[in-house]
Amino acid sequence: MSWFDQILLFLISLLANLLSAFAGGGAGLIQLPALIFLGLPFSLALATHKVASVFLGIGATVRNLREKPLDWKFASLILASGLPGVILGANIILSIPDHVAQVALGVLTISLGLYSIFKPNLGQHSQPQHRDRRGYLIGGGLLFFIGVLNGSLTSGTGLFVTLWLVRWFGLDYKTAVSYTLVLVGLFWNGTGAVTLGLQGSIAWDWLPALILGSLIGGYLGAHLAIAKGNKWIKRIYEVVTLTVGLKLILS
Query: What string of DSSP letters covers 131-159?
Result: -SHHHHHHHHHHHHHHHHHHHHT-TTHHH
C-alpha distances out from residue 241 to 68, 79, 89, 211, Å: 26, 23, 21, 24
Mean pLDDT, the chain, as a whole number? 84
Q: Over the stretch 29-88, which tens digit does the pLDDT of each residue have?
A: 778 778 877 888 877 887 888 888 889 889 988 888 787 778 989 999 999 999 999 888
The least confident of 7-21, 23-37, 95-109, 226-240 is: 95-109
Distance CA 72, CA 185 (A): 16
Q: Over the stretch 74-131, which tens digit does the pLDDT of each residue have?
A: 999 999 999 999 888 877 765 655 566 667 767 877 888 888 888 888 888 889 999 9
3-state secondary structure of 117: helix
Cα–Cα–Cα angle for 50, 37, 237, rounded to 5 degrees = 55
- Residue 200: pLDDT band (50, 70, 90) is low
Distance CA 193, CA 91 (A): 11
Evaluate whether 237 touches 23 at the Cβ level (below 8 Å). yes
Nearest to 152 by CA among 206, 72, 68, 91: 91
Distance CA 205, CA 52 (A): 12
pLDDT score for 220:
92
**Does residue 26 carry a pLDDT above 90?**
no
Instruction: Please state, for a pLDDT cut of 90, what percent of the chain lies above it.
Output: 26
The whole-number average pLDDT for the span 171-185 is 90
96: DSSP letter: S
pLDDT score for 96:
56
The least confident of 110-114, 118-122, 196-200, 201-205 is: 196-200
Evaluate whether 24 touches 176 at the Cβ level (below 8 Å). yes
186: DSSP letter: I
Residue 3 CB coordination number (10 Å): 8
Could you tell me where the DSSP H helices lie in the chain?
Answer: 3-23, 28-37, 42-67, 72-92, 99-117, 133-152, 157-167, 173-179, 189-199, 207-228, 230-250
**Does residue 20 carry a pLDDT above 80?**
yes
Residue 148 CB coordination number (10 Å): 21
**Does residue 186 carry a pLDDT above 80?**
yes
